[in-house]
Amino acid sequence: MALKIGGIEFYTGPKEVGGPDDLLAAIVDFIDGAKTKLRIAVQELDSRPIAEAIVRARQRGVSVQLALEGDYLKTEKVVADPFSPGGQNEHNRFLQNAILRTAVDVKSDFNTAIFHQKFIIRDGSAVLGGSANFTETGVTRNLNHVVIFHSRKIANAYAKEYREIRQGRFGKRSVDRDEKPTETKLSEIPIKVLFAPDHAPEMEIMKQMLKAAKRIDFAIFTFSKSSGIDDTMIRLSTDGLPIRGALEGRAANQRWAATRPVKNAGAELFTVPSQGNLGKLHHKLMVIDEQVVIAGSFNYTGPANATNDENIVVIGDLESPPGQSRNDQRKLGRFARKEIDRIITEFGRAL
C-alpha cells in the first residue's frame, strides 16, 4: 500500500509486476479529484484510462491544459495515405484527438532535446510527479514511482515551470533562469524542488550523496559515465560507503554506462532485464541513509542535466533534528528502499 504521511503520498509499483501500488489508479484518482484546473506535462500519453480521466475532467468544467513530447505524435516516414488513420504512434494521436474534441488546450513541446516531464498540477494546491509516463507500459509493466504533494508552495513552483514550458522557454531555450530551487516543509518534512537545466539537479544529487554516513541505495533507468554522479559514487564507494543499486538491463550494458567503473570501485550492483510481464526498470530513485529520498523524472546523464526538461524532488534532510520529522523521513526512506530491495531480489542479476 502507498505510504501517506500528512500531505505526502508515495506510490511504488506497478502492482501488475509485484509492486505494492496501483500506479494507474493513483494517476486516474488524482485527475478525477480536480475541481477547477489541471495543468499536465508528460513525455507520452497512450493510456486510455488516463485520457478518459482527462476527458471526464473537462466535461465537468475543469480547465485543462496539456503539454506533450512531439516525437510521440508523429511518424518517422511519410505514409502512403496520410488522410487515413494508421501508422506509427496512431494510438497516441487517437487519444489526443479525443482530448482535443473536449476543448482541451494541447501543445507539443518546442524542446530541441527531450521533453521528459511527468507531472500534473491540480487546482493550484497539489502536484503529482515521479518517474511514470502516462502510458500502458508505464503504469502496468515498467517499474516506476508516483509521488503526490498537497502543497500550494510546491504547486506554485511547478506552475512556474509549466508556464515556461507552454511558452517554449526551457531546455537550451530557457531565457528565464530561476537560480534558486523551491525549498519548503510539508508535514514538517523538508522538500526541495529542482528543474533541469535551471537548477542543475546533478549537482544537488551529488551534494546529497556526499552527506551520506551509512549507505546509498538506488534504482535507475539510465546511468552514464561522466554524469558527475558516477564520480561521486566511485569516490564514496572507494572510501568504504556501502552503495547498492539496480540498473535497467539494456542500458547498464551500453559502452557509455557507468556500470563497470562504479562496480569496480566496490558498489554492489544488479542489472534488471526485461522478463515475463516486466517491461523495464524505469525508476529514477535514490535513498540516502534511509531518510532522504530523491525522486522524479531525472536520469543520471549529462543531457538530463544540461538540455532535457526534467525535475527532481529531494524529500528529507540528513541534518533534520531528532523528532517526528526525522522519524517520518525514515518511514519514507525505508518504504522506498524496501521497493529497491524487492526489485533486486525478484528481478536482479548480480554483476
Residue 120 carries which side chain, given as an amino acid letter?
I
Triad 323, 326, 327: Cα angle to 5°: 85
Which is nearest to 159 in space by CA: 178, 179, 131, 186?
178
- Domains of the chain plus CATH, in order, are 3-166 (3.30.870.10), 182-350 (3.30.870.10)
pLDDT of residue 210: 97
Instruction: Please report, for residues 12, 78, 247, the alpha-carbon distance to residue 9 in angstroms, rounded to integers and kept in the order given.
Output: 10, 44, 25
The number of helices, as runs of H, and strands, as runs of E, in the chain is 11, 17
CA–CA separation, 103 and 118 (whole Å)? 22
pLDDT of residue 114: 73
Residues in the chain: 351
* Three cell numbers, residue 196: 533541469
The strand pairing partners of 271, in sequence order, are 247, 349
Sheet with 292-296, strands from edge to edge, namely 182-186, 189-196, 310-315, 292-296, 284-288, 216-220, 243-248, 268-272, 349-350
- 8 A C-beta contact, residue 300 and residue 229: yes
pTM of the predicted structure, to 2 decimals: 0.94
pLDDT of residue 175: 47
Q: Name the DSSP letter for residue 290.
A: T
Strands 310-315 and 105-108: unpaired
pLDDT along the chain (351 residues), means of 10: 94 96 98 98 93 97 91 75 81 90 86 80 98 96 98 96 80 58 95 90 95 98 90 97 97 95 97 96 98 95 80 94 90 97 98 93
pLDDT of residue 84: 81
pLDDT of residue 61: 97
* Three cell numbers, residue 144: 516506476
CA–CA separation, 117 and 311 (whole Å)? 7
Half-sphere exposure of 163 (CA within 13 A, CB side): 10
pLDDT of residue 174: 54
pLDDT of residue 170: 56
82 preceded by a cis bond (ω within 30 of 0): no
Q: Name the DSSP letter for residue 198.
A: T
Residue 92 carries which side chain, given as an amino acid letter?
N
- 8 A C-beta contact, residue 228 and residue 202: yes
CA–CA separation, 126 and 38 (whole Å)? 10
**Three-class SS of residue 168?**
coil
